[in-house]
């Protein structure tokens, strides 16, 4: 590609994460000449390269270590695991490589023109790309889809030290520390705490709010807390980091708040997991006249259109929740709208999953939110202590919960805590999408013994016909 080349296309997509590549591939499938601009050397964005996928590879390893330890009580003992970080990194990178090479093949098969470089708006019809190979190129588009994602938020008062990392740095596995601090008790922080604790680190967690995993119902989180109490060090709620000093013997961290230690604690590694910020202010939005809100999100309508009708925005840069699966669906909508199809993003539910141990998954309305809003609802819970499969697995600490509209008895939300909760939540998501009621789910024959049948049994509990629990008290 020569310096200053002008490339013309029907659709230009800025960012090749799950939302971006899905939008580009869908646009190409619809017959539109498509250009995909990506700043990194491989496709996949944060999720595939330094987020969802590598973390799940490491969480699987952590799960195997924990399972091996748990089965000592059942007569099967293993030696203490020997952690070879170099091989573990290679395994993680191989998982990533298999998926990134697959994406490159999919782009080639669709004749999507992939341009590697950092793109910004030149105006409302052009991107200017600083090419990874050197030089610049200009992309002229009829429609643009902005999928430029987000960046890990930082704490500016912390020192600049390689022992203080964000999620990307933590996934690089620089070391297995003796003591680690996770700042932020959200999903990302607790997933990384799960990994490092399994690898042998003593992990403390500090969270400003009074609870962990904001957005999840407290009854789900309590099961996680009970299960992980012995595994983790301190969990300091309603506490924040007041400052830190980087010294040769470690990072000396000071705290303040309800559960703050009196003295500074010393850590070998500190993970900052305090959320993510959208990249709206990094794309030259003002040159295109693209509106941003005060946080840097790009406001969009139901077709993912911005204030400029031929420019769309999807994924983390458009709105919360910042989830890859939401971005994919938004990408399809934007591509179809760009092709003048009647497509709209109007999801009644978007699942959330914490791939911790145990996993926590929820979708639709949550019990805590309904209570806070004073809205009526019906609830049914099936405890995994009555699940044959959960007991056989030695993982009966969890439960499945369904929430219903009290008048129609249709499912409006649900949550699961336990092994493979993330794999199970899709059935509840489908029930909400299809407008299923308790009878629809309860009368669906689930295989036995499985964890999935707990969803059907929760529906039976709501109907008062569950025979796997003691009879319900008559009201």
Q: With 0.75 as the threshold, say if the pTM is over it.
A: yes
359 is in an annotated binding site: no
Decide whether 6-152+278-339 matches 351-463 in CATH topology: no
Domain boundaries, the chain: 6-152+278-339, 164-274, 351-463
pLDDT band at 127 (very low <50, low <70, confident <90, very high): very high
Q: pLDDT digit string (tens) for 6-20?
A: 999 999 999 999 999
What pLDDT band is residue 150 in, cutting at 50, 70 and 90? very high
> Which pLDDT value is given to residue 3?
58
Average pLDDT, integer, range 402-408: 98
In whole angstroms, give the CA distance from residue 148 to residue 45.
9
From its phi and psi, is residue 15 left (phi > 0), alpha (psi between -120 and 50) or beta?
Answer: left
- Residue 456 marked as a ligand binder: no
Q: What is the pLDDT of residues 103-122, one digit of tens each?
A: 999 999 999 999 999 999 99
Q: What is the pLDDT of residues 87-103, one digit of tens each?
A: 999 999 999 999 999 99
- Bridge partners of 270, per DSSP, are 164, 181
CATH topology of domain 164-274: FAD/NAD(P)-binding domain (3.50.50)
Q: Is 412 annotated as a binding residue?
A: no
Q: Which residue has the tokens 């910004």?
A: 120
User: Is 323 annotated as belonging to a binding site?
Assistant: yes
Write down the mean pLDDT value for the chain.
97
Residue 5's pLDDT band (cuts 50, 70, 90): confident
How much is the pLDDT for 43?
98
Q: How far is CA 385 from the centre of its chain?
A: 28
Dihedral sign of CA atoms 332, 335, 340, 345 in order: positive
pLDDT score of 401: 99
Residue 336 marked as a ligand binder: no
Examine the residue annotation and report whether 448 is marked as an active-site residue of this protein: yes
More confident site: 349 or 5: 349
pLDDT above 80 (res 444): yes
pLDDT of residue 472: 78
Tens digits of per-residue pLDDT, 188-222?
Answer: 999 999 999 999 999 999 999 999 999 999 999 99
CA angle 74/80/86 to nearest 5° reads: 130
- State the CB neighbour count (10 A cutoff) for residue 300: 23
- Rounded Cα gap, residues 70 and 65, in angstroms: 9
Give yes or no for residue 426 having a pLDDT over 80. yes
The CATH fold of domain 351-463: Enolase-like; domain 1 (3.30.390)
Cβ-based neighbours of 10, under 8 Å, separated by 6 or more: 27, 32, 33, 34, 141, 142, 143, 338
**CA separation, residue 336 to residues 12, 43, 326, 356 (Å):** 14, 22, 16, 35
Is 329 marked as a binding-site residue? no
Looking at residue 26, its pLDDT comes to 99
* Model confidence at 355: pLDDT above 70: yes
- The fraction of the chain above a pLDDT of 70, given in percent, is 99
Q: Rounded to an integer, what distance in angstroms lies between the CA atom of residue 115 and that of residue 222?
A: 47
- Asked if the peptide bond before residue 358 counts as cis, ω within 30 degrees of 0, the response is yes
Alpha-carbon distances, residue 429 vs 108, 350, 376 (angstroms): 33, 8, 20
* The pLDDT value given to residue 473: 72
Which helix (DSSP H) or strand (DSSP E) does residue 129 occupy?
strand 126-131
Q: Is 117 annotated as a binding residue?
A: no
186 is in an annotated binding site: yes
Identify the band that residue 1 occupies on the pLDDT scale cut at 50, 70 and 90: low
CA dihedral of residues 140, 141, 145, 148 (deg, nearest 10): 0
User: What pLDDT, on a 0 to 100 scale, did the predictor assign at position 2?
Assistant: 56
- Pick the closest to residue 383 from 371, 374, 393, 391 (CA basis): 391
pLDDT of residue 163: 98
Between the alpha carbon of residue 81 and those of residues 68, 199, 201, 204, 249, the distances in Å are: 9, 8, 13, 22, 27
pLDDT level of residue 432 (50, 70, 90 thresholds): very high
Instruction: Give, in words, the CATH class of 6-152+278-339.
Output: alpha beta
What is the structure's pLDDT at 226? Answer: 97
> Quick one: pLDDT band at residue 282, thresholds 50, 70, 90?
very high
Q: Is residue 235 marked as binding?
A: no
**What does the pLDDT average to over 387-402?**
98
Query: Does the annotation flag 322 for ligand binding?
Result: yes
At 251 the pLDDT is 99
> Which of 126, 252, 310, 448 is an active site residue?
448
């Amino acid at each position: 590609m020569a310096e200053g080349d002008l490339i013309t296309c029907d659709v230009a997509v800025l960012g090749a994460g799950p939302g971006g590549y899905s939008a580009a591939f869908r646009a190409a499938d619809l017959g539109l000449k498509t250009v995909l601009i990506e700043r990194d050397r491989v496709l996949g964005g944060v999720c595939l390269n330094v987020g969802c996928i590598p973390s799940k590879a490491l969480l699987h390893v952590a799960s195997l270590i924990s399972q091996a330890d748990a089965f000592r009580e059942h007569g099967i003992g293993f030696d203490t695991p020997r952690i070879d970080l170099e091989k573990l990194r290679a395994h993680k990178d191989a998982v990533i490589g298999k998926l990134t090479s697959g994406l490159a093949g999919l782009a080639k098969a669709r004749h999507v023109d992939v341009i590697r470089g950092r793109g910004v708006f030149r105006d409302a019809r052009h991107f200017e790309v600083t090419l990874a190979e050197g030089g610049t190129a200009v992309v002229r588009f009829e429609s643009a889809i902005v999928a430029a994602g987000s960046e890990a938020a930082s704490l500016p008062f912390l020192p600049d030290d390689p022992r203080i990392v964000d999620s990307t740095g933590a996934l690089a596995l620089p070391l297995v520390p003796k003591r680690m601090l996770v700042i932020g008790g959200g999903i990302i922080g607790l997933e990384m705490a799960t990994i490092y604790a399994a690898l042998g680190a003593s992990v403390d967690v500090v969270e400003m709010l009074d609870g962990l995993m904001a957005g999840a119902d407290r009854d789900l989180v309590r099961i996680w807390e009970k299960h992980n109490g012995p595994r983790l060090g301190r969990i300091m709620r309603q506490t924040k980091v007041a400052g830190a000093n980087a010294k040769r013997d470690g990072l000396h961290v000071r705290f303040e708040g309800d559960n703050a230690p009196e003295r500074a604690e010393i850590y070998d590694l500190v993970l900052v997991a305090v959320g993510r910020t959208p990249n709206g202010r990094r794309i030259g939005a003002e040159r295109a006249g693209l509106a941003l809100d005060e946080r840097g999100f790009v406001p969009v309508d139901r077709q993912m259109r911005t204030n400029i009708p031929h420019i769309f925005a999807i994924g983390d840069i458009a709105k919360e929740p910042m989830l890859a699966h939401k971005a994919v669906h938004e990408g399809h909508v934007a591509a179809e709208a760009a092709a003048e199809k009647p497509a709209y993003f109007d999801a009644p539910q978007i699942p959330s999953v914490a791939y911790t141990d145990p996993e926590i998954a929820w979708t639709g309305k949550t019990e805590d939110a309904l209570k806070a809003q004073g809205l009526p609802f019906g609830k049914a819970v099936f405890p995994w202590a009555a699940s044959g499969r959960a007991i056989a697995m030695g993982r009966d600490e969890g439960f499945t919960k369904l929430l219903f509209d009290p008048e129609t008895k249709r499912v409006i939300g649900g949550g699961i805590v336990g092994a493979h909760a993330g794999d199970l939540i899709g059935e509840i998501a489908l029930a909400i999408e299809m407008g299923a009621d308790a009878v629809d789910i309860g009368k669906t024959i689930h295989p036995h013994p499985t964890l999935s049948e707990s969803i059907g049994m929760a529906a039976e509990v709501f109907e008062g016909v569950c025979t796997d629990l003691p009879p319900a008290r008559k009201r």
